Structure 1
Amino acid sequence: MSERSRIQHCPACGSHVQYRIPPDDNRERAVCPACSRIHYENPLNVVGTLPTWNDQVLLCLRNIEPRRGFWTLPAGFMELGETTSQGALRETAEEAGAHIELGPLFSVMNVRQVGQVHLYYLAQLQDTTFDPGPETIEARLFSEADIPWDQIAFRTVRETLKRYFEDRKHGQFGLHTADIE
């Protein structure tokens, strides 16, 4: 994790933290010298779906940074108080305005460099009416041959799509994991 994203001040008392290995731990943590609280920095979960309609997949053209103007699957950061599947449903509704039936978890991509884990569920579109929210310029269906591969926003999306089309050729969908470096 980069130095600028590290905790600087204790969220409990506001004192400047020190990074050290606390007793009974094996990693450097943000420790408050004033109130002795230990603050843990953990990966963020990105949750989303791979919505399909017949032989097409739904992609969203991003209206926000990073990667504004590039295509992605509907996904975003999981919120506190929701499950991964609830977050995936919410993000699909917010970004694409799509009505889906959620399927099984399809891919888990570890993006260690930015401290994230991306989880994508298979999803079946219930109709082809989309109402994208403000984070999306356009939501559109693509056949495999028409996917703008050079305009895909994130490697996790590209890898998930590649695995989906490969599984579809074999007529069986598995759970895929990868470490994105």
Structure 2
Amino acid sequence: MNFCSHCAAPVVSLIPQDDNRPRSICTSCGRIHYQNPKIVVGCIPIWETRILLCKRNIEPRKGFWTLPAGYLECNETTEAGARRETAEETGASVVALQPYRLFDIVHIGQVYLMFLARLQAPRFHATRESMEVRLFEEKEIPWSTIAFPVIEKTLRHYWHDRPENNFSFRLEQETGTMQKDD
């Protein structure tokens, strides 16, 4: 941040009194600008034995496959955000949301909360954000064109947990490098 969003004066990076880390502080009005992680919410939409993926029509990673997910909005619950993102990216409605994975992605300042969800009906379509939307069995997943490491990890966890029908909630820290040990 270079300028104050309140008065447009330059900001400097200093540790405020009674704080423990540098913050952007306005040189004119003294406002402290806190920068906090972004919350990303999304779903694994399930229909029978298949899951719904969407091929991104926007950057980053345009043309790559992902689960429907995006930034949580202010005044929105995580569940409502996951439903909204699923509708915006796939045209589908989901029900029975269950928290499944929480990823701390510290190096990019994001937290991902992924839900398991059931498609209300097998109705979905391409959208402004997704050039293609389709249901996949495990053997059909386009692993080489999955958009983001956290999405690949979520998918691998899902297919690993599915035979035992044991979808326990798990918290993980994503380090920025995807390890193929699952």
Quick check: TM above 0.5?
yes
User: How far 1:133 moved relative to its partner?
Assistant: 1.8
Q: TM-score, normalised by structure 2?
A: 0.93
> Which residue matches 1:129?
123
Q: Does residue 1:162 correspond to 2:156, yes or no?
A: yes
Q: Distance in 1 between the 2:85 and 2:6 partners?
A: 31
1:102 counterpart letter in structure 2: A
Contact 1:62 1:68 in 2 (8 A): yes
Q: Distance in 2 between the 1:66 and 1:29 partners?
A: 28
Deviation string, structure 1 residues 18-66 (Cα, Å, up to 9, x no partner): 1010000000000112111111000001111000011111000000111
| Structure 1 stretches of 4+ moved >3 Å | none
2:102 counterpart letter in structure 1: V
Q: Which range moves more in the overlay, 105-114 or 136-145?
A: 105-114
> Which residue matches 2:97?
103
Q: Distance in 2 between the 1:132 and 1:75 partners?
A: 15
Deviation string, structure 1 residues 49-102 (Cα, Å, up to 9, x no partner): 000011111000000111011000001111111111111000000100012103
Within the candidate set 100, 109, 113, 2:107 is matched to 113
Q: Distance in 2 between the 1:155 and 1:178 partners?
A: 13
User: How far 1:165 moved relative to its partner?
Assistant: 1.2
> Which residue matches 1:70?
64
Within the candidate set 44, 54, 59, 2:53 is matched to 59
> Which residue matches 1:10?
4
Contact 1:106 1:121 in 2 (8 A): yes
> Which residue matches 1:3?
none
Q: Distance in 2 between the 1:68 and 1:140 partners?
A: 16
Q: Distance in 1 between the 2:30 and 2:96 partners?
A: 44
2:170 counterpart letter in structure 1: H
CA RMSD between the two structures: 1.0
Q: Does residue 1:140 correspond to 2:134, yes or no?
A: yes
Q: TM-score, normalised by structure 1?
A: 0.94
Deviation string, structure 1 residues 100-153 (Cα, Å, up to 9, x no partner): 103211111122221111111110012111133201001100011110111100
1:46 counterpart letter in structure 2: V
Gaps of at least 5 residues in structure 2 are 176-182
User: How far 1:14 moved relative to its partner?
Assistant: 0.8
Q: Distance in 2 between the 1:133 and 1:81 partners?
A: 24
